[in-house]
Structure 1
Amino acid sequence: MEEIHDIVIVGGGISGLATALALQRKGIKSIVLERHETLRSSGAAIGMFINGWRALDELGVGRRLREKSLALMEIQDVWIHKDVSRVTPCRKEGLRCLRRSDLIDALASSLPAECIRVGCQVVRIEPDPLTLFPTLYTREGEIIKAKVLIGCDGWNSVVAKCLGLAEPKTLRNLVIRGVTEFSKGHQFGDSFVRQFDDKMLFGMIPIDHQIIHWFVDWLPTSTDMETSTRNPDMIKELATAKLRNHPPETLEMVRNGEPDSLSLARIRYRSPWDLLLSDAFHRSTTCLTGDAMHVMGPFLGQGGAAALEDAVVLSRNLAMALRKGEEDDGEVTVLSDEEIKRRVGLGMGEYVRERRRRIALLGLQSYLMDLIYSGSNVYKLVGLVVLMVFFRGEMLKHTEYDCGRL
């Protein structure tokens, strides 16, 4: 089978759905190809600072999602082995935590059903020999020709490989994530709590008054590396073993984690210099967004928000580039294939230029935070010095960013 679409988005996660929704709000149709049989919400939950909420408001789903989340008042950092703590106030409405499933549902339900195709895995991309537009080949035997191709398919992106982007790097860290629901309500308040203890980080962030998102991040041993990444019972056992010195209520929370929410994974990232210098984020009428472009460690809580920003900025630039205009007699100008390539290329080029400095700074700050958290004493010192020089110690300054109107 062979079909033709103007804009194809590969990946039905946060990035892909947000991009499709942003394009729709600009009056541009697209189709989203998701390789799994259903839209997935792996990762349990996602923290969202004010910059992410600005993007969600532009997409028209911010109000709906605020009703499903609790406004957090502060971030509490505790260094257990040093008996040191720090409290950072959050600006009003500045930080909330969302279930990924709620975010995915809000984005997907705002799109026409025919815009999303599940169970469609792209395995190869080649330029059409005549038009040079991208041609996608799926595992199911379909051939899909696109005039515009947007890769939103995560760190292991088939579109990124097509563009020649290098594989992301892997940190030594392992991270377990989960969600626990308390039927009678929890007693953890409205603060985001992070506890640092000898190269291990434990965090709890309320989603609402009954649901807590929690995570454990540590430098693994060889035994840890052999642990299954899919078995919920083994994941819980490993998490409780790492938290054995924590209070009983913490261990009970982990033991009661929802099985479907549990995950164990390595942290992947693109280096700040790759983000700053790579020329493989865009070529002709193909480009990347979200983790496919700038996967980063979770130390800033900006992966999802940055993907939402991408969606707004890319759609704004594409709409400006593709605006056909109307002649005096009201007729719409029809663009030739060559004109589409020229205009889309300019729009994508402007998108990459606009986003590059932003994602490079986020990548740098996330990288420095990892050095401070898990590096040797020398690396910790280097990370602190560079962090102070580039960011002047303003740890939440990046959350004030405004990606602009759609």
Structure 2
Amino acid sequence: MNEAEERDIVIVGGGICGLATALALHGSLVSERSECLHATGAATTIRANGWRALDHLGLGLLLRKDSVHIDGFSLSLSPSNGIILFMSDISLGNGILREFAINSVDISEAFRRKGEAQCIRRSDLVEALAEDLSHSTIRFTCHVISVKLGSQTSYTVLELHYGIVIKAKYLRMNPTKFSTTNAIRGFTSYPEGHGIDNLFVVAIKEQVVVGNSEISKNQELIKMSSLQTINDFQEEMKEMIKNSDQSLSSCLRLRYRALWDLMLGSFRKGTITVAGDALDAMSPFIGQGDSISQEDAIVMARCLAQKILEFDRKTLFEKCTMDKCEDVHNQYAKERRMRLIKLSTQSFLMNKMFETLSMVVKLFCIVFMASFFRDSAGHSQFD
């Protein structure tokens, strides 16, 4: 960047949320610290709310062409004391048949539900978002070292430096917390096809993943550790890991943002706000990571669009006072807070149910979720 450059909107971070927000907010600038766009992970699941956001961005039809439809969800949890919870969703065309089994007690419930869940290559999503942006929109190797208010104006000043990274705690948000659960991600290709159903399957065994800092840095050890920990799982699962692309394997410790931080913390300061992974950190058990990031982009664009109606677009940032600009961010934070609290609570309960050894805690999580999150896919119906 030049020593002094004025921009109406600057987005720090060229991830999925950053690119989606730039696409929604025409004329913005994206500051990305890496040398190129990167798409961690081989694939991602986009829920119905994520597809609505992509439709608003004009990319839904394009990305659906190369996506794989997920027909249902299967979850198997087997604690050591014998209580077994099994839940599966089976598509019936006009609805879903849900089956539960707790200690051999079967409960079936049929209900109608609209929506879609599809799996796409993460790189396809990132590239589609970037291709619709002008070449000058994204600045690579662009590191933010400080954020402050101008001494003589009400503008927010970003100080940039190439080659140096200093994290500025401008919003003073508490850091995300680590879960005791580690996750191993990988990708397996079947050139000759396979007989596996298009289901999102979660098979859980207590302490199936053992945290080890050395394993997380070595892709060969990641693969070996995965095979050892699922030694008594079904043969097709073991074959899936044996045939996986080792170069795409990764091991990470799950993070989440504490509920009290979401309830009491501030998402913004002045004309600066936070979105995407920096705000929406949660475990992946409800599959909302990338979908919720795209939601952030659309909600921010809508809040700004409502304020634009009060001004001429060309003179918005000249005539719009500091208070008016802050109103946009206040409205965004207000709309996102309750949405994130609900998602984070559901995600946290599922994570806690899987990782705890206490049967009291497990049963509490099951009862709480049955009471407040009876429709386990209701979170994807947000529009």
TM band (smaller chain): 0.7 to 0.9
Displacement of 1:39: 0.6
Is 1:387 aligned with 2:373? Answer: no
Could you say which residue in structure 2 is the equivalent of 1:51?
49
CA distance in 1, matches of 2:245, 2:33: 25
AA aligned to 1:265 is L
Could you say which residue in structure 2 is the equivalent of 1:89?
90
Structure 1: unaligned runs, 5 residues or longer: 143-155, 201-217, 327-331
Is 1:190 aligned with 2:194? Answer: no
1:245-284 residue pairs with structure 2 within 5 A? 245-279=232-266, 281-284=267-270
Aligned residues: 356
Could you say which residue in structure 2 is the equivalent of 1:346?
327
CA distance in 2, matches of 1:251, 1:166: 40
Give the 3 Å change call, closer, same or farther, for CA 117–356 of structure 1 in structure 2: same
AA aligned to 1:401 is F
CA distance in 2, matches of 1:114, 1:295: 29
Answer with 300-309 or 121-130: which moved more.
Answer: 121-130
What SS class does the counterpart of residue 268 from structure 1 fall into?
strand
CA distance in 2, matches of 1:13, 1:343: 28
Could you say which residue in structure 1 is the equivalent of 2:349?
368
Is 1:166 aligned with 2:174? Answer: yes
**Which of 373, 377, 382 does residue 396 from structure 1 map onto?**
377
CA distance in 1, matches of 2:219, 2:178: 23
CA distance in 1, matches of 2:319, 2:152: 12
Give the 3 Å change call, closer, same or farther, for CA 32–236 of structure 1 in structure 2: same
> Conserved in 2, the CA contact under 8 Å of 1:271 and 1:367?
no
**Which of 292, 300, 311 does residue 314 from structure 1 map onto?**
300
Displacement of 1:68: 1.2
Displacement of 1:274: 1.4
What SS class does the counterpart of residue 55 from structure 2 fall into?
helix
Could you say which residue in structure 1 is the equivalent of 2:101?
none
Could you say which residue in structure 2 is the equivalent of 1:62?
60
What SS class does the counterpart of residue 129 from structure 1 fall into?
coil
**Which of 377, 383, 389 does residue 359 from structure 2 map onto?**
377
AA aligned to 2:237 is T
Displacement of 1:85: 3.4
Post-superposition Cα deviations, 1:319-359, rounded to whole Å, max 9, x if no partner, equal 22234545xxxxx7735657342222111111111111101
CA distance in 1, matches of 2:206, 2:122: 30
Give the 3 Å change call, closer, same or farther, for CA 335–13 of structure 1 in structure 2: closer
CA distance in 1, matches of 2:230, 2:117: 26
What SS class does the counterpart of residue 37 from structure 2 fall into?
coil
1:1-400 residue pairs with structure 2 within 5 A? 1-2=2-3, 3-24=5-26, 29-79=27-77, 85-89=86-90, 94-140=116-162, 158=167, 161-200=169-208, 218=209, 220=210, 224-279=211-266, 281-323=267-309, 325=311, 334-335=315-316, 339-375=320-356, 376-391=358-373, 393-400=374-381
CA distance in 2, matches of 1:49, 1:95: 4
Displacement of 1:384: 2.1
CA distance in 2, matches of 1:258, 1:131: 53
- Across the aligned residues of Structure 1 and Structure 2, the Cα RMSD in angstroms comes to 2.3
What SS class does the counterpart of residue 9 from structure 2 fall into?
strand
Displacement of 1:34: 1.1
Runs of 4+ in 1 over 6 A off after TM superposition: none
CA distance in 2, matches of 1:260, 1:31: 33
CA distance in 2, matches of 1:260, 1:114: 32
Give the 3 Å change call, closer, same or farther, for CA 157–89 of structure 1 in structure 2: farther
Displacement of 1:89: 3.3
CA distance in 1, matches of 2:57, 2:74: 31
Give the 3 Å change call, closer, same or farther, for CA 199–238 of structure 1 in structure 2: closer
TM-score using structure 2 length:
0.86
CA distance in 2, matches of 1:333, 1:106: 28
Give the 3 Å change call, closer, same or farther, for CA 187–101 of structure 1 in structure 2: same
> Conserved in 1, the CA contact under 8 Å of 2:219 and 2:249?
yes
Displacement of 1:246: 2.3
Instruction: Report percent identity of matched pairs.
Output: 35
Give the 3 Å change call, closer, same or farther, for CA 302–141 of structure 1 in structure 2: closer
TM-score using structure 1 length:
0.81
> Conserved in 2, the CA contact under 8 Å of 1:71 and 1:93?
no
